Amino acid sequence: MTSPDSDAIAILGGTGDQGLGLALRFAAAGRRVVIGSRKEERALAAAEEVRGQVEGADVAGFENAEATRRAGVVILSVPFEHTAGTVKAVRDALSPGQVVVSMAVPLAAAIGDGAVRTLGVWQGSCAELVAGLVPEGVAVVSAFQNVSAHRLQHLADPVECDVVVSGEKGPRERISTLCELVPGLRAVNGGPLANARYVEAWTALLIGLNIRYKVPEGTGFRITGLPE
Ligand SMILES: NC(=O)c1ccc[n+]([C@@H]2O[C@H](COP(=O)([O-])OP(=O)(O)OC[C@H]3O[C@@H](n4cnc5c(N)ncnc54)[C@H](OP(=O)(O)O)[C@@H]3O)[C@@H](O)[C@H]2O)c1
C-alpha cells in the first residue's frame, strides 16, 4: 500500500477553479502536488495544465482515494454539498498523521438560494462537520475559504489576502507554513476549529462585495494591528 509523502499536498477536486489555483501556487513554490478527481482522466488533464503553466512542476493526477493515500496534507476542494460525500468516499484511504484541510463554504447556493448567504450547519461549520467524519488520528484544519480562485490562478501577481487558519496547534502550524509559500498570503492563527464558522461566513460577505463593487477577480481580507 502507498504511504503518504508527508511533504506532498493532495487537492481533491483539484480540477475545479479553487483547487487548480492552489495546485498552481504550490507547484510554483516547488512542492509536490497530487490532484484528485472522481475521474482519473480529469485529474491527469489538470496536472497537465499545471505543468503547462509551471515549468518543472512536480504534479501528478489520480482518482480521489489514490490521491489521498499519497500526501500528508489533503485539501478538500469540492463544493460544500459534496464535501461529506467526498470525505466518506476517501475515508478508508486516510491514515493517522495526515491533515485534512476544510476549505468549503456552506453557501445557500447549495439549496438553490443565493451565494451571498450561508446555511446553518448542525456541527457549527463545514470544518467541524468534516472533523466528525475523518478517522481517529487524522487532524482537520480550516483554511483558504476567503482566497479568490481567480487571484490564485493569476500566477503573475501576489494574492494579497489573509488566511485565518483554525485547528489544533501542530496541524494548524503545518498548514500556516503552506500559506506562506504563496506570495501575498499571510497565515493568521485562528485558534480552535470552531472558529471556522466565522471564516466560512466571511466568504458570503466577500461574494456580496465582489458583486456590489464589481470586482470579478475577487476581494479579500486583511486583518490589521497584528504584531509582525
Ligand atoms: N471558487 C472560489 O473562488 C472559492 C473561493 C474560496 C473557497 N472556495 C471553496 O473551494 C471549494 C471548491 O470551489 P470551486 O469553485 O473550485 O468548485 P467547483 O469548481 O464547482 O468544483 C470543484 C470540484 O468538485 C468536484 N465535484 C463536483 N461535483 C461533485 C460531486 N457531486 N461529488 C464530488 N465532487 C464533485 C469536481 O471535481 P471532479 O469532477 O474532478 O471530481 C469539481 O472540479 C468549494 O468548497 C468552495 O466553497 C472557492
Name the residue among 4, 10, 35, 37 with its Cα closest to residue 178: 10
| Burial class, 20, CB count within 10 angstroms (exposed 0-12 / middle 13-18 / buried 19+) | buried
Say how far apart CA 77 and CA 12 lie, in whole Å: 6
The protein residue with its alpha carbon nearest to ligand 1, atom 36, reads: 13
172-217: per-residue pLDDT in tens? Answer: 999 999 999 999 999 999 999 999 999 999 999 999 999 999 999 9
Q: What is the pLDDT of residue 1?
A: 62
97-144: per-residue pLDDT in tens? Answer: 999 999 999 999 999 999 999 999 999 999 999 999 999 999 999 999
The protein residue with its alpha carbon nearest to ligand 1, atom 5, reads: 148
- pTM for this model (two decimals): 0.98
Share of the chain above pLDDT 70, in %: 100
The protein residue with its alpha carbon nearest to ligand 1, atom 48, reads: 18
Centre of ligand 1 to C-alpha 226, Å, is: 32
Centre of ligand 1 to C-alpha 192, Å, is: 25
Centre of ligand 1 to C-alpha 228, Å, is: 34
